[in-house]
A = this chain, B = another copy of it.
Amino acid sequence: MGEAKGEYHHLVLAKFKDEITIDQIDELIKGYANLVNLIPSMKTFHWATNISKENVNGGFTHIFDSTFESAEGIEEYVQHPAHIEFAALFATAIDQTLVVAYKPTLVNL
């Protein structure tokens, strides 16, 4: 995550509906990534699939991690028309989602 430009993370966990194809997921990921170009406070976008074998992933298969420079930047993003429009499209493709936002604190003992 050396590429992350912001200290604040907005993390979305998602499970896509069974009928959503890989190509459709790719298109949604591109649409999500493009929000960086539309919303000034959004600094970076990463995505991933879950590889945990611990079987406590709550059914979530995909992770979307956006970074921001402040908590206010996250609020600007959430309320931005481009996010609202994309979120409505994204919502049609998913069975379940979970969102947390946070500023990680490093602990070195």
A→B interface (CB under 8 Å):
1-4, 7, 9-11, 13, 29-30, 32-34, 36-37, 44-54, 56-58, 60, 63, 65, 67, 71, 74-75, 78, 97-109
Contact = CB atoms under 8 A, between A and B. Distances in A.
Given A104-B65, A105-B46, A106-B3, A71 B97 contact: no
Contacts of A67: 1
A50 B101 CA distance: 5
Copies of this protein, total: 2
A47 B7 contact: no
A3 B60 CA distance: 27
Contacts of A3: 106
29 contacts: A1-B4, A1-B104, A2-B2, A3-B106, A9-B48, A29-B107, A30-B107, A32-B107, A33-B109, A36-B108, A46-B104, A46-B105, A46-B106, A47-B104, A48-B102, A49-B102, A50-B102, A51-B74, A51-B101, A54-B78, A54-B99, A56-B97, A56-B98, A57-B98, A58-B98, A60-B100, A63-B104, A65-B104, A98-B98
